[in-house]
A = this chain, B = another copy of it.
Amino acid sequence: MNSNALSPIGVFDSGVGGLTVTREIMRQLPNEKIVYFGDTARVPYGSKSKDTIIKYSKQIARFLKTKNVKAIVIACNTASSFALEEVRQEVDVPVIGVVKPGAKVAVSKTKNKKIGVIATEATIRSGLYTDFIKEQDEQISVYGKACPLFVPLVEEGWTNDPVTVEVAKRYLEELKNDDIDTLVLGCTHYPLLRTMIGNLMGESVTLVNPAYETAVSLGEMLLKNDIAAGNENRYASEMYDFYVSDAAEKFKRFANSILPFKIEDISQISVENY
C-alpha cells in the first residue's frame, strides 16, 4: 500500500449539489476520508463562462492540495465539463470528473441508441456528454436540454411541488418527443428531483445518476494507483471535513437533509486566495 493511502479524497462542487456524489462515495468506499469544498460564494457555475469556471476550479484544486488529498473528484458537471484537464495540469494527484462515468453508464443502458442529457446551460453548451457518448458508440444520438430553473427550485426546497412539476414538464417535453430510452441527470442537484422526473418520463426511460458510477470509477482508480485506504481510517476521529466559501450555516442545513449522518463543523475559507 502506497504511503499516502490514508490521505483524504478531495471532492468539490459549486455548492451543495456535489453532496449527492459525496453520499455515494461514503456508501461505496467507507474507508476513505473526504475533504469536501462547496463554492457557495460563487455558486452557480452553470451560467458562467468557460474561463471563469476554469479559474475557480484551479483555485479550489490548489486549496484541496493544502489538505494533502491523494485524489480529487470534481463532483460538479459544469466544472467537469470545462475544467477537468486544467485541474489535472494543476495538481500531481489523479483527478476524475462526473461526466465520463455518467456517459459510460448511459451507453451501457440504452437499447434504442437515443440518450437524453439534462444539465445546466454551461454543461449542455460544452457538448462534453455528447463527445464522451459518441466516443464509445458513434451510432448513438444524444439530445441535450438545459434546465436552468431546476437548481433554484431545488435550493428553494420545492422538490415535490406542482410548480416544479410544471417546469419539468416544459423542459422534458422535447426529450419525450425525441423517443429517448435513457436520460442522464447531468447536474448533481437533479437526483433530488429523480422521482418527479421518472414519473414524467415514464417507465420506459432509464434514469442515469452519474454519482453512483463516479464512486465506482473512483474506487477502481484508487486500487489501480495503489492508494485505496484500508480500514485503518475507520478509527480516525475525523473522517469527513467540510469547507465552503460562504454561508456555512445554510450549507449545513442542506447537507444535513442529504447526508446519512449529522455534520456539525463547517469551515469558511477565502478560496480566491489560492
Contact = CB atoms under 8 A, between A and B. Distances in A.
Interface of A: 40-42, 47-49, 52, 148-149, 151-153, 155-156, 162-163, 166-167, 170, 245-247, 250, 272
Copies in the complex: 2
* Shortest Cβ-Cβ A-B pairs, 3 listed: A152-B152, A52-B246, A49-B247
A220 to B, nearest CB: 36
A48 B41 CA distance: 6
Contacts of A166: 162-163, 166
Contact of A148 (B47, B148, B156, B272): B156
11 contacts: A40-B48, A41-B52, A47-B155, A47-B250, A148-B152, A148-B156, A149-B152, A151-B152, A163-B163, A166-B166, A272-B272
A52 B250 CA distance: 14
Contacts of A162: 166
Contacts of A163: 163, 166-167, 170
A243 B166 CA distance: 36
A156 B170 CA distance: 13
A73 B152 CA distance: 28
A166 B3 CA distance: 57
A82 to B, nearest CB: 13
A162 B155 CA distance: 21
B246 A48 contact: yes
Nearest to A150: B152
A245 to B, nearest CB: 8
Nearest to A153: B149
Contacts of A47: 155, 247, 250
A119 to B, nearest CB: 15
A272 B42 CA distance: 12
Contacts of A153: 149
Nearest to A121: B250
Nearest to A248: B49
A13 B108 CA distance: 47
